[in-house]
């Protein structure tokens, strides 16, 4: 089915057919009459059915023409299409008729992606390249390929107001943001990524609409519920006349997969997608997205603050059938370990070795225990959930922006500890995610930015400061005055990556080499590869509060791998009554890789004798493989 619609719902939007022209479809149940106005010509009356859907076929309409809907004959209510495929003049302008079949795809052999074995890379199109466009981002794809990325996760692109923004305040969910380029530029980006063996998934926001440029109520107040999210009124997924709303959202999920060949979705703040229906809308939209991909495979990942593990359980087991969920626990432990800070939502984390061992073995750390910061229980059991379902990260857009002056983690931590924890992130059993520029330890911050009209911009800035005041270190008047103004051009410009850093500075070159080599090791070592695919297993132990060991095995337990991560001082571990350190059968351990290598700006590797114990350097990660013992020993 072509057009912005779900597989089971009504068609929506302007659907072009070269044999019959354009079919216009709209849901506006509370309007007495609706007309479509094409290229500012005479309004053409549409027909209404009993459910409030309006339709009209215009045989001489063509792609490239601009149109609006005239509601109840009121010229003050001449609006763009809620299911617009493109808004060339932004949210306030008309919609453009788009031919989704005009782009000549070259990815017929692309099979899609599954969750096991992937490495995710989150980027913001507007700040990722100098141009801030799809074309600019496309030019950086060889860099991501060399790095070892397998899936690109793009921050939201649904049309939003202003010249820049994070994208979480989208108002036209079917229209890719016009300032990044035309729809065919997005298609070319996805096509090029596929040609290099990388998938692309899209961050989508289905919990609220943005506050500015949002005219959904002009078509129907039924789009909204009587509940509120942190960012605006929640969508109506379970109230009266919610079926068309569910179809609108499920259709959007299918649309991105079908018409842009995307390889999946990342669902923003799923805890605010309120739905008490027998079948939750998340489960329904996932099914629609999987149907839309036909013979390709896709992944759907969720952000879920309460850490509901049922999202990644199969439908047969009562879950939502998603492939992955972001693991904030891992991030919070990482920040506590790297910075020593334990304020606000880091209160319940120590950054100790035990937390990372638990994350490797169980995914979430909080699975129903009392959570001091929120004053209630947090999380749900993860028994039976594979490790690759948990997306682990040290940085992402939210967490960088929430830090002091929105500085990157590499700027806030000990260099050796940062290299060691990066090693754990990229060699662990979970699915790792990197945030743009992290691979070369960029000095560029990533503050929150969103351009709005002055009155709303002031409210957004006030809200941002109030949010950050939960951190005592950011609550003082002086600190609050340093919070960048989200609507200021300089705030956005400060976030733009400086690509010369990765080549010009020794630090940038060393950091990139570290990330590239770790991802190559993750792919090439058969045991690490098996663990990342879910066919191997991991056990872990705490050596000290700051030092841990992970032992990884696959089909043959006599061929294990050992990863030691020390986030503290030099350690002499002798005697060593820890079975996970025991040598492989008829073999000994050989150091195959170390984060202390001078190539990574480390102090160099001093491998100690392990016959009577272990000498483990401080602030380092070490990776060991079996080495056969010499004959006669």
Q: Catalytic site residues?
A: 268, 303
Distance CA 405, CA 534 (A): 38
Strand 224-228 and strand 587-594: the pairing is unpaired
Those residues with Cβ within 8 angstroms of residue 195's Cβ, 6 or more apart along the chain or in another chain:
106, 107
* Both tokens assigned to 505: 């500075």
- Tell how far CA 498 is from the center of its chain: 22
CA dist 347 → 54, 329, 413, 464 (Å): 53, 11, 18, 21
Rounded (5°) CA angle 248-249-255: 85
Backbone angles phi, psi at 196, to 5 degrees: -95, 5
3-state secondary structure 522-546: HHHCHHHHHHHHCCCEEEEEEEECC
Distance CA 350, CA 338 (A): 10
Contact 145, 154 (CB under 8 A): no
* Both tokens assigned to 43: 């309004």
Is the link from the previous residue into 575 a cis peptide, with omega within 30 of 0?
yes
- Tell how far CA 547 is from the center of its chain: 30
- Tell how far CA 307 is from the center of its chain: 15
Distance CA 583, CA 499 (A): 44
Backbone angles phi, psi at 7, to 5 degrees: -65, -25
Contact 35, 45 (CB under 8 A): yes
Contact 310, 318 (CB under 8 A): yes
* Both tokens assigned to 395: 């940085």
CB contact burial 24-36 (16+ within 10 A = b; e otherwise): bbbbbbebeebbb
Backbone angles phi, psi at 437, to 5 degrees: 85, -15
Strands, E assignment, 124-263? 151-154, 158-159, 172-176, 199-204, 224-228, 233-235
Sort residue 363 into left (φ over 0), alpha (ψ -120 to 50) or beta: left
Among the listed residues 9, 35, 13, the one whose alpha carbon sits nearest the alpha carbon of residue 24: 13
Strand 78-79 and strand 95-96: the pairing is unpaired
How big is the chain by its Cα radius of gyration, in Å?
26
Distance CA 348, CA 361 (A): 19
Helix spans in 203-266 (H) = 216-219, 243-260
* Both tokens assigned to 115: 């969750």
Could you say which DSSP state residue 112 is in?
B
Contact 107, 195 (CB under 8 A): yes
Among the listed residues 622, 542, 620, 533, the one whose alpha carbon sits nearest the alpha carbon of residue 580: 542
Backbone angles phi, psi at 364, to 5 degrees: -70, 145
Backbone angles phi, psi at 227, to 5 degrees: -110, 155
């Amino acid at each position: 089915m072509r057009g912005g619609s779900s597989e089971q719902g009504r068609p929506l939007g302007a659907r072009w057919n070269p044999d019959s022209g354009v079919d216009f479809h709209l849901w506006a149940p509370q309007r007495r009459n609706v007309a479509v106005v094409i290229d500012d010509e005479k309004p053409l009356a549409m027909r209404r059915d009993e459910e409030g859907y309006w339709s009209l076929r215009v045989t001489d309409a063509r792609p490239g023409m601009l149109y609006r809907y005239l509601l109840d004959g009121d010229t003050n209510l001449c609006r763009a299409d809620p299911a617009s495929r493109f808004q060339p003049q932004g949210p306030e302008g008309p919609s453009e008729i788009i031919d989704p079949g005009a782009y000549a795809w070259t990815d017929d052999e692309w099979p899609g992606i599954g969750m096991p074995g992937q490495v995710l890379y989150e980027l913001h199109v507007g700040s990722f390249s100098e141009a801030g466009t799809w074309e600019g981002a496309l030019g950086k794809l060889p860099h991501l390929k060399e790095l070892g990325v397998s899936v690109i996760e793009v921050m939201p692109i649904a049309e939003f107001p202003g010249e820049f923004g994070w994208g979480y305040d989208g108002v036209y969910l079917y229209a890719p943001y016009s300032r990044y380029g035309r729809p065919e530029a997005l298609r070319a980006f996805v096509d090029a990524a596929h040609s290099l063996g990388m998938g692309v998934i899209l961050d989508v926001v289905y919990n609220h609409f943005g506050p500015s440029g949002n005219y959904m109520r002009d078509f129907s107040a039924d789009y909204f519920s009587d509940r509120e999210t942190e960012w605006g009124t929640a969508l109506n997924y379970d109230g009266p006349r919610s079926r068309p709303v569910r179809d609108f959202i499920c259709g959007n999920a299918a649309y991105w997969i079908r018409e842009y060949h995307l390889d999946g979705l990342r669902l923003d703040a799923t805890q605010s997608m309120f739905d008490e229906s027998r079948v939750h809308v998340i489960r329904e939209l996932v099914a629609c997205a999987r149907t839309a991909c036909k013979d390709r495979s896709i992944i759907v990942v969720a952000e879920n603050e309460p850490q509901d593990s049922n999202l990644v359980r199969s439908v047969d087991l009562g879950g939502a059938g998603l492939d992955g969920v972001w693991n904030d626990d891992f991030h919070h432990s990482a920040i506590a370990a790297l910075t020593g800070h334990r304020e606000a939502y880091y209160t319940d984390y120590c950054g100790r070795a035990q937390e990372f061992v638990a994350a490797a073995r169980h995914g979430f750390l909080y699975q129903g225990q009392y959570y001091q910061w929120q004053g209630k229980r947090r999380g749900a059991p993860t028994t039976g959930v594979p490790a690759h379902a948990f997306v682990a990260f040290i940085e992402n857009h939210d967490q960088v922006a929430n830090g002091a002056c929105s500085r990157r983690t590499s700027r806030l931590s000990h260099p050796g500890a940062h290299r060691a924890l990066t090693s754990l992130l990229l060699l662990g059993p979970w699915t790792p995610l990197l945030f743009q520029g992290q691979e070369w330890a960029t000095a560029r911050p990533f503050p929150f930015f969103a351009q709005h009209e002055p009155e709303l911009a002031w409210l957004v800035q006030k809200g941002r400061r109030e949010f950050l005041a939960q951190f005592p270190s950011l609550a003082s008047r002086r600190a609050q005055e340093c919070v960048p103004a989200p609507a200021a051009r300089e705030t956005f410009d400060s976030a733009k990556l400086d690509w010369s850093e990765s080549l010009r500075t020794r630090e940038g070159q060393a950091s990139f080499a570290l990330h590239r080599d770790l991802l190559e090791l993750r792919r090439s070592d058969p045991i690490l590869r098996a663990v990342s695919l879910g066919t191997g297993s991991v056990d872990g132990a705490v050596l000290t509060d700051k030092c841990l060991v992970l032992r990884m095995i696959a089909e043959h337990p006599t061929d294990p791998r050992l990863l030691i991560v020390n986030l503290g001082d030099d350690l002499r571990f002798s005697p060593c009554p820890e079975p996970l350190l025991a040598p492989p059968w008829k073999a000994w351990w050989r150091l195959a890789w170390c984060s202390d290598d001078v190539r990574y700006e480390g102090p160099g590797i001093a491998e100690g004798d392990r016959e009577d114990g272990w000498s483990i350097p401080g602030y380092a990660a070490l990776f060991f493989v079996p080495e056969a013992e010499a004959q006669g020993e």
